[in-house]
Amino acid sequence: MPKVITTSVIRSAHPGESHGGVYIVDVDASKCEQVVEWNERSISWEGRGLERGLRGIAFHGNEVYLAGSNELLIYTKNFELIGSLRNKYLQNCHEITIHNDTLYLTSTGYDSILEFDLSLRSFTKGYCIRTRIGNRCINRLFKKMSPIIRWGKRIYLKHWIFDPNSDEGPPAGDTLHLNSVHIGHETMYVAGTLIPWLLSIKNDRVSVFAHIGGGTHNARPFKQGVLFNNTSFDQVALADCSGRILESFAVKQYEKHELQMAELPNDVARQAFARGLCVSADNLIIGGSSPATISVYKFGYHNALKTINISMDLRNSIHGLEIWPY
């Protein structure tokens, strides 16, 4: 089993407390090493999550890129901080990915994906996508649009490309809760918890790739379907493009007496919140959940082959999760 790197978010942490971290997990040996403790104070402490913790993870050469809420942090592979990047349109960043020499960042607070050229060291392009679903279009941005019909529903997609270095980008807004981005076959795939579809962007055109249901994280094409954290149903799922579940894996559940802060209401934190997902070279599925737990799944088995717990604090949730390449 591989080594993985994961980030965490500690929901409802208070000023002065650690509100996230970075861990290297040796799955085979069941060992975990914390390499970064995140206690940055200059964040918004409102809500349960918001700007707390660290999120997406990506690699380029010997550099490790970690997403904070409104900042991209650059570390060496030995976790020495060597730089950071900001952009006015980067807000509440979730997942990130690198393809060739381009870094793609989700900006949940702007319904956007930002492109950063790693060779030029500059932001070069932004995609904003906003949606409305139903028979009437109530937002003026969508009045002139024709709906895309999928599975008997009208999908109003409004998208535009903008310069992330200008003042002419989109206004702040979160209509998709955009949380995942994946690149494959010269196509960008994006999804969010507030829309039940995996969207594709190719040649600057947005379309619906697959139906996955609402409340998902980390959706990506896989084999002939889509692999994703079916967070609303406490499972990792593989579905076909029409949304039919082909195989699913139950997320780890703990006894109540095992949990720290077990009396927290569900709108603050709950266990089995599935987020963070990666695939090993031999198609083992590695998923994250809360309280901070890494689980390994294999097709043909309903339950996890192995689970490793990092923290029993119910507020501590896995966010980013990738195979450790070094």
Block mean pLDDT (10 aa), the chain, length 326: 90 61 93 83 46 84 92 93 93 94 95 95 93 49 46 66 93 90 94 91 89 93 94 95 94 92 70 94 94 95 92 90 96
* Order of strands across the sheet that contains 205-211: 178-184, 187-192, 197-202, 205-211
**How many domains does the chain fold into?**
1
Q: What's the CATH code of the domain at 20? A: 2.120.10.80
pTM of the model: 0.88
Collapsing DSSP to helix, strand or coil, 233 comes out as: helix
Tell me the CA end-to-end span of the chain in Å, nearest whole number.
Answer: 15
186 vs 201: CA distance, rounded Å: 9
Q: Report whether 321 contacts 6 (CB < 8 A).
A: yes
pLDDT for res 205: 86
Q: From 127, 146, 117, select the one nearest 189 (Cα to Cα).
A: 127
Report the run of H or E that residue 297 belongs to, with start and end. Answer: strand 293-297
Domain boundaries, position 134? 3-323
Q: How far is CA 174 from CA 91, 122, 146, in A?
A: 10, 24, 22
